[in-house]
Amino acid sequence: MARPDKAAAVAELADQFRSSNAAVLTEYRGLTVAQLKTLRRSLGENAQYAVVKNTLTKIAANEAGITSLDDQFTGPTAVAFITGDPVESAKGLRDFAKENPNLIIKGGVLDGKALSADEIKKLADLESREVLLSKLAGAFKGKQSQTASLFQALPSKFVRTAEALRVKLEEQGGAE
C-alpha cells in the first residue's frame, strides 16, 4: 500500500471498526442514490452506512482484529458501522431489505463475534435495549410489591386473629 490516500482510508476504516459495537456488511447492487439515502435514515442516529472498497476494508478489519469477515468482501459492499443499540439498526436494515430486495445482508460482527445474515435478522427481532430494561424494571417492581404484600399480610392476619379471639372470649364471658 504505497499511496498515502489508501493508507489514510484504511486507518479511518480500522478506527471505525474499533469504535463500533457492531458492523453489518451488505451488498447494495441495484439501489439508487435516493434509496441509499433512505437506508441511511432508517438505520438511526447511531449508525453510519458507508460504501467501501473490499480490499481496503478487509485490510482495515484485519488491523482492527476482525478476521471473520474476510470471505464476505466480494461484490459491491457497504458497511453499517453501529455505535449505539445494534437492534435498532438491524431492524432498519431488515425492514429496508424487505421493501428493497436489492439490499442483501451478507453478515457482520457484534462485539467481536461474527454474525451470519440469519443471526442479524434474529437480532432485529429482539426488542430494543430500552424496552428490555423497562420490562426488567417492571419485573423487579412486581417482586417488590409481592414482598411488601407478604410482609404486610402477617401483621394484619395477627390483628384479625386477635380480634376474633377477643370477640369469642367476650361472647363466652357474656353467655355465662
Residue reference for cell 454474525: 115
> Which cell numbers hold the place of 130?
430500552
What digits encode the pLDDT tens for the residues 9-38?
A: 888 888 888 888 888 988 888 888 888 888
Q: 3-126: which CATH topology?
A: Alpha-Beta Plaits (3.30.70)
Give the pLDDT confidence of 155-171 residue by residue, as tens digits. 888 888 888 888 888 88
Q: Contact, 24 vs 108, CB < 8 A?
A: yes
Residue 69 and residue 61 in contact, taking contact as beta carbons nearer than 8 Å: yes
Query: Model-level pTM greater than 0.75?
Result: no
Among candidate residues 45, 50, 67, the one with its CA nearest the CA of residue 58: 67
Indicate the residue type of 18.
R
Query: Mean pLDDT for each consecutive 10-residue tract of the chain (176 residues)?
Result: 78 87 88 88 85 88 84 86 85 87 88 83 75 78 75 80 87 69
Cell numbers at 95, concatenated: 425492514
Question: Can you give the pLDDT at residue 176?
Answer: 53
Neighbours of 53 (CB within 10 A): 16
Q: CA-CA distances (angstroms) from residue 53 to 73, 74, 99, 113, 174?
A: 9, 10, 26, 22, 99
Which residue(s) pair with 104 in the sheet?
A: 27
Determine how many CB atoms are found less than 10 A away from the CB of residue 25.
25
Residue found by looking up cell 458501522 in the block: 81
Under 8 Å between Cβ of 87 and 78: no
Residues forming a β-bridge with 102: none
